[in-house]
Structure 1
């Protein structure tokens, strides 16, 4: 993939994914910090079969922070998404134990009003990590863009690839248009010159 293609994809990325990735990263960072600084609540919900629970909680807290940070490293983003999704699956037994312990105590807080939605949210977190990292596109890959929707690239734009010569021409056109933005008379001539550069 050429540099120009990566630039265009980053420029016209669906903004909802950017927001969702930021929220996911923030949630994992906060959870990781809590596991490092105040592990007691996490120890209480850790299943008995987990070996060295305190060490596991601290290590996983550090991994959560690293995974959230790796979402913003292009080369590591997909691996980070897979790792965070796998982590969300692995901690599901702890969520179940927390819910069952709460159900065993009538006066336990929080009750099922929290645990029910929390357990239902876990599969969404798995999907969320995979979608934000680009591992999957479901369910949005089949949506067609509105002609006036400039926030997402069209399917043709997504599949188009530019060779290095075209990339230089596109960036040259950007420089020309910025230079001539105050002079409408020369803008059309500049555009025509760039088109000839690409076709030639």
Structure 2
């Protein structure tokens, strides 16, 4: 029950964040697109916003495939981490993160989001189960 509520909460968080990408926080999200990334910053913000909305809906609606969704959401959080690092390294202010200390603390939360996605969807158990099977499988 707690994991289910945490999954729904994470899904709602992604829905809100994705909607903000496309509306009220578009400029702030542009600050997280690394200057070295070879794509238009606004396009990156729009695409990542749409992806967040889709992932949020999947977390809420796809109960039967929740572990797979959890793996995809965790991978998404890993994929966008360079944007958080770029915001820190390049000293870009956004979302009230206007000091290196604040931007640095934010970096610590990305692993929390990855763990949350894996835990609340049961993806960790799926990974452990598959890892155990791989270790006990006879080698040819």
TM surpasses 0.5: yes
The alpha carbon displacement at 1:32 in A equals: 0.3
- Answering whether residue 9 of structure 2 is matched by residue 20 of structure 1, we say no
Alignment RMSD: 2.4
1:34 corresponds in structure 2 to 20
Structure 1 pair 97–76 and aligned structure 2 pair: CA distance change class (3 A):
same
- Answering whether residue 124 of structure 2 is matched by residue 124 of structure 1, we say no
Structure 1 outlier segments of 4+, above 6 Å: none
Unaligned runs of 5+ in 1: 1-14, 139-200
TM-score in terms of structure 2 length: 0.74
Report the Cα distance in structure 2 between the residues aligned to 1:113 and 1:65, rounded to whole angstroms.
30
Which of 37, 40, 46 is equivalent to 2:33? 46
TM-score in terms of structure 1 length: 0.54
Unaligned runs of 5+ in 2: 127-140
Q: Larger helix proportion, structure 1 or 2?
A: 2
Which string of whole-angstrom CA distances, capped at 9 and with x for unpartnered residues, describes residues 88-115 of structure 1? 1111111111122338x9xx95324422
Higher relative contact order, chain-length normalized (CA < 8 Å, sep 6+): 2
Mapping 1:135-154, distance limit 5 Å: 135-137=123-125
The alpha carbon displacement at 1:45 in A equals: 2.1
Count of residue pairs the alignment pairs up: 121
Partner of 2:90: helix, strand, or coil?
Answer: helix
